[in-house]
Structure 1
Amino acid sequence: MRKIFALVCVAIALCTYTSCKSKNNDPKPGIETPAKSQLGTASTTDYIITLYADTPLLFTGYNRLYVKVQDATGAVSSTANVSIHPLMEMSTMSHSTPYEQVSYDAATGLYSGAAVFIMPTADDDAWKMEVTVNGQKVAIPVTVGTFPTKVISISMGSDNTTYIVSLLRPATWKVGMNDVEFTVHKITDMMNFPALDNLTIEMTPEMPSMGHGSPNNISPVSTGKGHYKGKVNYTMTGDWRLHLKVSDASGTVLLQDAFIDILF
């Protein structure tokens, strides 16, 4: 089992950089707007369950997800016990991915959560979102494409643990100071990807094509539940690389040079 798990980790890392024979070989990133995009719907004996996202397509990396629950009459429920579980069915095995459990958001009338997809949909492998409402489960198929730039970093740490660093994509970037946010998870097995808090992240922006960085950046700090927030200063449009040095609470460097690529 340990050998199989190691091979899966290698495959996940490779699929992050390639389409992995994705059905969406060159997906175009959607523009995130307040209007949610419906990904699919399914029904149980008592409920109609609809899955939404910020964009029409899901991508490798961090994706916000939303669930609407309606009873048989179509009335929207705000008191149901709702949970999600992303699952990829492969030809020889199944695995999950890091995700954030949903909770009800009164502002939208939806149950809000997220998933960090670690590989795209492939010809023989398919993602689905299992949604359970008051004990009644449905499975909604979803398609995951490869984002045009590297918004997720999957790499082996100095402690031989595989870490997943993912950028939360904003609707737009701008020249000047921008809020920036990441999540950090580790792989313990093929179904468990715990979020990590209390790490130290040193962020160094670089513009590779121009050979310079930028001043006045604020490295991300832990805000809980595996999230880290900081600020990045883009002095011009173009290609940017955010170098991330990640250390644990004792100061041991876990990742020397994880990185995320930005283009705007």
Structure 2
Amino acid sequence: MNKIIFLLTAICFVVLSCTKEKTDYEAEINTVVPEHLDFEEVANIHSDGYDIRIEALNGTFYKGYNEVRLKIMDSQTHKEINATDVTFLPIMSEADGNKNSCPHRYNLVYKTDSDYLSGYAVFTRESNTDRSWEIYINFTVDNKAYIAKQAIPVHEQINKNLNMTAFTGKDDEQYFIALVSPQKPKVGENDLVAGIYKFNKPTNSPAGDFPDPSQFSYTEVSGYTLQLDPRMPEPSMGNHSSPNNEDLTQQSGGLYSGVVNYTMTGNWTLNFIMLDQNGKILKGTEVPTDFTPGVEGVKSELHIDILF
């Protein structure tokens, strides 16, 4: 009888702990997880008679994935001009003099239906007193080339649903995975979108005026698969997963899309195994499937933590 009472007490403790954690996370959603839907001006560069207006969600650049919208206008007429060969290059300078970039779309694409130039930047680190970012923009008007640059701040991403990770694969290449959506997941099945990028190691020495874009080149990897195993790693959650998840595969726009099923609000870990075009594992490990109440769940060597 004593053993039965002890067992029932333990079960109640686990259930109550799970409920408490759920309640705490639900309360945190209202104050921690923002959702930005509007594009606002994040920078306006005045250069050689032209105004370059740059927009991002919430008018802010964050660590992680940022969609970038850009327009170039005549400073006097305030009318949009027909610029060609528009490029976008973010450069990070550190206190020791080192300079790096981040995954980005170098050649911007003009969206005829929306009248803006489209790109993105996956900022890998926030700005601080020892680290700063600048954006370099090149464009051509009437066969004349122009160069503009401006310092910009990159802020901490407080929305963990938009986290990112950087790592070296088994092929000795440097990769980046950045979550793109959902910004604010719901309980149930969610379309999970991410970008996967690789740094292109320079094959030549820097040439011309700084910055030489060949030294800061990145590509969207093609034909990879991101196997997904979402779990709640908190001890009170027992490392449980969920059904109906779908691995991430590349879509026509270059991003990777799958399905993640969140059965409740709280702290989740997206465990990944990344495969190349030939099915070779480049990073990631399988995680145990055991239900382990009271014990923190084991995470893949390739994972991203989220919270909603």
Q: Shorter-chain-normalised TM-score: which range?
A: 0.7 to 0.9
Q: Is the 8 A contact 1:195 1:225 kept in 2?
A: no
Task: Work out the CA distance in 2 between the residues paired with 1:192 and 1:63.
Answer: 17
The match for 2:23 is: none
Task: Work out the CA distance in 1 between the residues paired with 2:225 and 2:60.
Answer: 32
The match for 1:82 is: 86
TM-score, reference length from structure 1: 0.82
Q: Which runs of 5+ in 1 are unaligned?
A: 1-27
Task: Work out the CA distance in 2 between the residues paired with 1:156 and 1:229.
Answer: 22
Q: Is the 8 A contact 2:182 2:193 kept in 1?
A: no
Among 107, 110, 116, the alignment partner of 2:116 is: 110
Aligned residues: 236
Task: Work out the CA distance in 1 between the residues paired with 2:268 and 2:62.
Answer: 20
TM-score, reference length from structure 2: 0.71
List per-residue Cα deviations over 1:37-89 (Å, max 9, x = no partner): 21111122232101110123322211111112111310123554422111112
- Which structure 2 residues correspond to residues 137-148 of structure 1 after superposition, within 5 A? 137-148=147-158
The match for 2:171 is: 159
Instruction: Kindly indicate whether residue 65 of structure 2 is the aligned counterpart of residue 59 of structure 1.
Output: no
List per-residue Cα deviations over 1:114-164 (Å, max 9, x = no partner): 001111112122111112221212112221123233711111222222221
Task: Work out the CA distance in 2 between the residues paired with 1:97 and 1:187.
Answer: 8
Among 224, 231, 249, the alignment partner of 1:221 is: 249
Q: Is the 8 A contact 1:30 1:56 kept in 2?
A: no
One-letter amino acid of the counterpart of residue 47, structure 2: T
List per-residue Cα deviations over 1:143-199 (Å, max 9, x = no partner): 112323371111122222222111113342111111111111122346122221111
**What is the Cα deviation at residue 203 of structure 1?**
0.6
Among 81, 94, 105, the alignment partner of 2:99 is: 94
**What is the Cα deviation at residue 104 of structure 1?**
1.6
Instruction: Kindly indicate whether residue 40 of structure 2 is the aligned counterpart of residue 37 of structure 1.
Output: yes
Structure 1 residues 145, 169: closer, same or farther in 2, change over 3 A?
A: farther
**What is the Cα deviation at residue 202 of structure 1?**
0.6
List per-residue Cα deviations over 1:193-249 (Å, max 9, x = no partner): 222111121111111221211110111111256521111111111111111100112
Task: Work out the CA distance in 2 between the residues paired with 1:167 and 1:78.
Answer: 33
Task: Work out the CA distance in 2 between the residues paired with 1:107 and 1:54.
Answer: 19
Task: Work out the CA distance in 1 between the residues paired with 2:82 and 2:260.
Answer: 37
Bigger-Rg structure (1/2): 2
Instruction: Kindly indicate whether residue 203 of structure 2 is the aligned counterpart of residue 199 of structure 1.
Output: no
Task: Work out the CA distance in 2 between the residues paired with 1:78 and 1:235.
Answer: 50
One-letter amino acid of the counterpart of residue 82, structure 1: V
Task: Work out the CA distance in 2 between the residues paired with 1:42 and 1:158.
Answer: 41
One-letter amino acid of the counterpart of residue 230, structure 1: G
Structure 1 stretch displaced more, 218-227 or 199-208: 218-227
Q: Is the 8 A contact 2:83 2:139 kept in 1?
A: no
SS in 1 for 2:233: coil
SS in 1 for 2:219: coil
Q: Is the 8 A contact 2:181 2:194 kept in 1?
A: no
Among 147, 157, 169, the alignment partner of 2:181 is: 169
The match for 2:267 is: 239
Question: Cα RMSD over matched residues?
Answer: 2.0
One-letter amino acid of the counterpart of residue 243, structure 1: N
Structure 1 residues 242, 78: closer, same or farther in 2, change over 3 A?
A: farther
Structure 1 stretch displaced more, 182-191 or 135-144: 182-191
Judging by fraction of residues, say which structure has more helix. 2
Instruction: Kindly indicate whether residue 50 of structure 2 is the aligned counterpart of residue 50 of structure 1.
Output: no
